[in-house]
Amino acid sequence: MFMGEFQHNIDTKGRIIVPSKFREDLGETFVLTRGLDQCLFAYPMNEWKLLEEKLKKLPLTKKDARAFTRFFFSGAVECEVDKQGRINIPPPLRKYASLEKECVVIGVSNRIEFWSHEQWETYFEASEESFSEIAENMLNFDI
């Protein structure tokens, strides 16, 4: 399970350090793709395969299902961590998530997320204000 929040910079070549706490659970190779809320999602291969199977079952006849799978798979790349503990994030993914310098890497259960520092702060502040309401709504999911 991935958890925690880490601050890292992305260099001009698009490389960013993957927190050491996350590296072992990510494995030798993992999948990085566009996430929701303008961040990037990184999945270990076993989690990616589970997600892939679920997405394959979505009905091709539904416009939203086609759009979501296109969005998710078209941005997906297989990554490896180099000897310095970094990955190289391709330019289209960096642009999507506005990753320019200061970044935040967070653990979210079965995945990690890469955020621009500015967008994470904005998202966190907005969510923090409504956290009680969000928590109340989660009761419907037996949490």
pLDDT for the residue numbered 139: 72
89: helix, strand or coil: coil
- Residue 7 CB neighbour total at 10 angstroms: 11
Q: Which residues pair with 38 in a beta bridge?
A: none
List the pLDDT tens digit at each of the 143 positions of the chain: 999 999 999 999 999 999 999 999 999 899 999 999 999 999 999 999 999 999 999 998 999 999 999 999 999 999 999 999 999 999 999 999 999 999 999 999 999 999 999 999 999 988 877 877 777 777 776 65
Answer whether 64's CB lies under 8 Å from 114's CB.
no
Task: Return the CATH number of the domain spanning residue range 2-141.
Answer: 3.40.1550.20
